[in-house]
Amino acid sequence: MNEAMLKYVDRIQAGLEALVPQMEERVPQLGEMPALLAKSMRYSLLAGGKRVRPSMLIGAVEMLDGPMDQAVLPACALEMIHTYSLIHDDLPGMDNDSMRRGRPTSHMVFGEGQAILAGDGLLSFAFECMLKNALHYPARALQHLRAMDEIARGAGVSGMVGGQCMDLYAEHNEDWSEELLTYIQHNKTAALFIAALRAGARLSDADEASLQALTEYGTLFGRLFQVVDDILDVQGNADEMGKSVGKDAQSGKLTAVTRYGLEGARKEAERLTEQAMDTLRPFGGDAGFFVTLLKDMSHRVR
Ligand code: GRG
C-alpha cells in the first residue's frame, strides 16, 4: 500500500469502527440495531479490505482542495456499500464463495439469511449515515446531497447492481459480445470507483472539466481493476488474494481472459493503464496519489 493511501486508510478504519460499534449481546431496545447484526456487519467490514474506493474519495477531495473533514463519513459509507456487494456476491445464489478478505465468507459463519441481512444492513446504514452527515452541515447540504446522488447511482440499477445482473446473465447465455463485456466491466466494477471520484469532486465544488477528467480516470481504472482481477483468477495465489482463484472459466464467466485469452487480457491491461494515465494530465503534480494507484494496479500483473 502506498504512503498516501496508508494515511487515508487510518481515518477510514477509525470511522468504520465508530460507525458500527461492538454491541452488548441482549434483546435490543426499541429503535436499536441488534448486536447480531452489528457483529455480522463488522465481521466483513473490518476484515481488512484494501479500502481503495474510500481512499479515492478522500484523495479526490484532497487533490481538489475540498473539506477533508467532511469526506471521511461519505468514504466510510462507500466502503459499507462495497462490503455489502462482496457479501452478496459470495452467496450461494451468486458466486458461491467460501473465502473473502482472507476469512470464511459471511454466509459460512452466520448462515445465508443473516449474510443477506448483513449486506442489506450495510447498504441501508450507509445512506442513513450519509443523510445524517448531510444534515450536520446545513450550509453545505447541497454538496452532500450531490455526493450521495453520485454514490446512489454508482451503486444502483444503472451502476453496480446493473453490472452484476449482466454478469450473472452472461453465465447462462452465449452472447459474449465485446459490448457486453465492456458493460459488465464498466458497471459491476468501475461504477463504484467513478462514484468515489465524482462524490469527492461534488463535495469539493469541482468544475465540469475536473468532473469529466475524473469520470474518465475512474472508468479506465475500474476496467483495468477488473481485467487485473480476471488475470489473477488464472495466475494468482488464493492466500495472497484472500479468496478462491481459478473459478471464472469453470463457472462460465464472461471475463477479459475467457473472451480474449491471457495474452489478450494482458495487452488490454497495458492499453487501459496508458489511457488512464493520460486522463490525469489536467491535474499535473497534484494527481500523485492517483498515478501511484494506477502504477500499483498495473504492476500486479507484470
Ligand atoms: C452483489 C450487487 C452486487 C454486486 C457485486 C463487487 C461485485 C459486485 C462483485 C465482486 C466480484 C469481483 C471479484 C469483482 C472484481 C472486482 C472487485 C470488486 C474485487 C473486490 O474488490 P477489492 O479487491 O476488495 O477492492 P477489498 O476486499 O480489498 O475491498
Predicted confidence at residue 150, as pLDDT, reads 98
Predicted confidence at residue 174, as pLDDT, reads 83
Q: Residue 251's CB: how many other CB atoms inside 10 A?
A: 9
Of all protein residues, the one whose alpha carbon is nearest to atom 3 of ligand 1 is 85
Q: Hey, which residues does 104 pair with through a beta bridge?
A: 99
Predicted confidence at residue 69, as pLDDT, reads 95
Rounded to the nearest angstrom, the distance between the alpha carbon of 88 and the centre of ligand 1 is 10
C-alpha cell at 229: 482481477
**Atom from ligand 1 closest to the CA of residue 51:** 29
In a 3-state reduction of DSSP, which class is residue 280? coil
Q: Ligand 1 in contact with 164 (CB < 6 A)?
A: yes
Predicted confidence at residue 197, as pLDDT, reads 99
For 125-157, how does the pLDDT look when each residue is reduced to its tens digit (9 = 90+)?
Answer: 999 999 999 999 999 999 999 999 999 999 999
Cβ pair 255, 231 in contact under 8 A: no
Q: What angle do CA 272, 223, 202 make, to 5 degrees?
A: 105
Probe residue for ligand 1, chosen from 5, 87, 101, 229 as the CB with the greatest number of ligand atoms within 8 Å: 229
**Atom from ligand 1 closest to the CA of residue 155:** 2
Predicted confidence at residue 236, as pLDDT, reads 84
Q: Ligand 1 in contact with 253 (CB < 6 A)?
A: no
Q: Ligand 1 in contact with 88 (CB < 6 A)?
A: yes
Rounded to the nearest angstrom, the distance between the alpha carbon of 189 and the centre of ligand 1 is 7
Q: Ligand 1 in contact with 55 (CB < 6 A)?
A: no
Q: Ligand 1 in contact with 188 (CB < 6 A)?
A: yes
Probe residue for ligand 1, chosen from 86, 88, 151, 243 as the CB with the greatest number of ligand atoms within 8 Å: 86
Rounded to the nearest angstrom, the distance between the alpha carbon of 207 and the centre of ligand 1 is 30
Q: Ligand 1 in contact with 50 (CB < 6 A)?
A: yes
Residues of the chain with pLDDT under 50: none
Rounded to the nearest angstrom, the distance between the alpha carbon of 32 and the centre of ligand 1 is 30
Q: Hey, which residues does 103 pair with through a beta bridge?
A: 100
Predicted confidence at residue 186, as pLDDT, reads 98
* Rounded Cα–Cα distance for residues 300 and 291 (Å): 15
Reported pTM:
0.96
Rounded to the nearest angstrom, the distance between the alpha carbon of 30 and the centre of ligand 1 is 34
* Rounded Cα–Cα distance for residues 233 and 249 (Å): 9
Predicted confidence at residue 132, as pLDDT, reads 95
Predicted confidence at residue 2, as pLDDT, reads 78
Quick one: DSSP state of residue 27? P
Q: Ligand 1 in contact with 161 (CB < 6 A)?
A: yes
C-alpha cell at 167: 454478469
**Atom from ligand 1 closest to the CA of residue 87:** 1
Q: Hey, which residues does 205 pair with through a beta bridge?
A: none
